[in-house]
A = this chain, B = another copy of it.
């Protein structure tokens, strides 16, 4: 509580304090029961001595305006006038749950624990969905940032994003064979916001949406929160099974198809060119938009950089999302969308009624990073390092058959591994956690979480070479231990007919 005190006035300071508080009490600003700050604190805040405050409080007590309360300190006294009995009504605590929108019950917060795992320093995280912070180009940033602090950096920017950054992203897109002007690009708070906005733009409760199965877990959560019916289409080594897709498109008439075609999360799969063209043909045939999520496309470990669906689409069916979170800084929360005009208009409206625009300094910094030509050299720096980490993880995994990668991904962040059928995911997760290793159990990537019980996702980009080796070894030891010592988990007994 800061009070207006003037030490040059003839009125003693303690009296000024007393009067100021008295006025606040009489005006009702400080209601009965309000706890005044402890004397020492009020003294510090107002730069007066503690004894001055004690004197002021004593005068207020003498006036009956405050009283000492054991355990609470000095509190504002009840008014002495007799209480109006009608006023003395009972207040019931608010029961929040019946007030919640019913779709809020569709989603749980089981994922937050996994996301927060990274904060536990001692753990080896094979669970992370991010790169290695040690590889962030901090030196470069320091150079960029040092002489560029100015007023506009902290001001509002346009809802659609900082225009120079949109221009540089337009140039970046040509390297992915996507031709899009700055006006066809909008900056988002991470590509997650693009998934959120697509859900808000298209999905009513009961609407269908097609996803790969497995897929990005927050996409599943977001579509569930919209009350959508989530139709999972399995993958094989060529990516999305377009043969299965066709029948589902006819049956469910989905609002859109959500896909991660390049270095898919969680499996690392790259959709083949043939499948990409088939997917587009099906989208055209059934008039269904495609939401293409491309956070990992630039992280190719061979010379084959996958061509985005957007680059192959000549009819404007693809909404393309990408982000700096996987290749540069997750903490910046800067992603973008390339989309046809009707979609960008809806997204701009949603931006205005959700968070107005993306943090300006982050946009200015990233723009400068692109403008000065740091982006490609940075990619060329990190890719061989991540490739070597993938290789060390693979070489450890090859030593047994206890966690077998389904494919060897040629880029991205993840290995998708199959466990022996006899292993309990819960037991393995607990055992690894006890030994200081985390990963993500496979079932969370499935719309129906009863699926995926036999899989786990391992990240090979977040930890150092040594820790990846050690973490993977601990994982294998744990699987091996559970195979011999774990509770026995036989196949479910067949049900006998009741006769």
**Residues of A that sit less than 8 Å from B by CB:** 1-2, 4, 27-31, 33-35, 37, 89, 91-97, 99-104, 107-109, 111-112, 115-116, 118-119, 130, 133-134, 136, 138, 141-142, 145-146, 149-159, 174-175, 177, 179, 189-190, 192-193, 195-196, 200-204, 218, 221-222, 225, 255-256, 273-274, 277, 284-285, 287, 289, 303-304, 307, 312, 314-317, 328-333, 340, 342-343, 345-346, 348-350, 352-362, 376
Selected from B190, B277, B287, the residue in CB contact (under 8 A) with A356 is: B190
With A112-B159, A149-B138, A359-B362 in contact, is A100–B154 under 8 Å at CB? no
Q: A91-B284, A116-B158, A133-B152 are in contact. Are A333 and B354 (CB under 8 A)?
A: no
Tell me which residues across on chain B come within 8 A of A99, comparing CB atoms: 202, 255-256, 289
Residues of B within 8 A of A156 (CB): 115, 118, 130, 330-331
Q: Contacts of A273 on B, CB cut-off 8 Å? A: 27-29
Give the chain B neighbours of A255 by CB distance below 8 A.
99
Partner of A138, one of B108, B151, B332, B345: B151
Q: Once the chains are docked, how many angstroms separate the CA of A31 from the CA of B314?
A: 11
- CB-CB nearest in chain B for A315: B91
Determine the chain B residues whose CB is within 8 A of the CB of A142 once the complex forms: 149
Q: Do B101 and A331 touch across chains, with their CB atoms under 8 A apart? A: no
User: Which residues of the other chain, B, contact A31 by a CB distance below 8 angstroms?
Assistant: 277, 312
CB distance from A84 to the nearest CB of B (A): 12
Q: Which residues of B contact A29 (CB under 8 A)?
A: 273, 304, 307
Q: Which residues of B contact A342 (CB under 8 A)?
A: 96-97
Can you list the 10 inter-chain pairs with the closest CB atoms, starting with the nearest?
A331-B360, A154-B329, A189-B355, A359-B359, A28-B273, A133-B151, A222-B353, A96-B342, A196-B354, A91-B284
